[in-house]
Amino acid sequence: MSQFDSNLFKLAMRRAATAVSVVTTDGAAGRYGVTVSSFCTATADPPQMLACVFKASAAAAAIRANRLFCINVLDRTHLHVADTFAGRIERWRNDRFACDQWKTLATGAPVLEQGLIALDCTLVSETELSTHFVFVGHVESVAVNEGAPLLYADGHYRRMAERDQVSAEDLVQ
C-alpha cells in the first residue's frame, strides 16, 4: 500500500485553473468579503451555489450570522479587487470595499458593479470541513456583465487572452 503524497496533491490543485471570486456578505454581523477560488454550482434546479471560506476568517463568521452571501466572479480587469480582499493592498485594508464600486441585489450582500458575474444567495446550509466552511446558498438574484474571468493557476493570476471557443474537432487536429 503506497503513502499518499500530500505535496503532489497540492501541486496538482495548483495546476488547475480556477476563476477568482470575492465572496461578500452584509447585515447585522457586518460587511465583509474575502477572495476565494473554491466555488461552483451545487444544483441548477433549484439554483444553488457552493463556496468554501476559511473558517477562521471574519467573513466566514459574518456569512454564518448574516445568513447570506454573494459570489462575485471577477473580470480579468479586477486584479486589484482580488488582492484587496486577500489582504495584500495596504491602502484598502481598513475599508476593502473602497477599492471599487459596489451595489446590492436581492439579499443586500455587496455586488461588484462591473464584476463578470454576481450570484446573490441566501444561506441554505453550512458544513465545517477541516480548515473551511462549505456554504451552500440558494441563488436569489444574478447579474452578468461582458468580459472574461480572472483566473488563478500555479500561484499566479492569469487572464484569458481571447474568448474564442474551441470545438472538439479543433483539438483533434
Question: What pTM value is reported for the model?
Answer: 0.91
Residue ranges per domain, the chain? Answer: 6-172
Contact 128, 88 (CB under 8 A): no
List, for the chain, all residue ranges whose pLDDT scores fall below the cut of 50.
Answer: none
Residue 37 is predicted with a pLDDT of 87
Whole-angstrom CA distances from 163 to 66, 92, 148, 154, 166 are 37, 32, 7, 21, 9
Residue 162 is predicted with a pLDDT of 59
Please write the tens of the pLDDT for every residue from 76-93: 999 999 999 999 999 999
Residue 136 is predicted with a pLDDT of 98
- C-alpha grid cell, residue 74: 471577477
- The CATH T-level fold of domain 6-172 is Pnp Oxidase; Chain A (2.30.110)
Residue 38 is predicted with a pLDDT of 92
Residue 159 is predicted with a pLDDT of 85
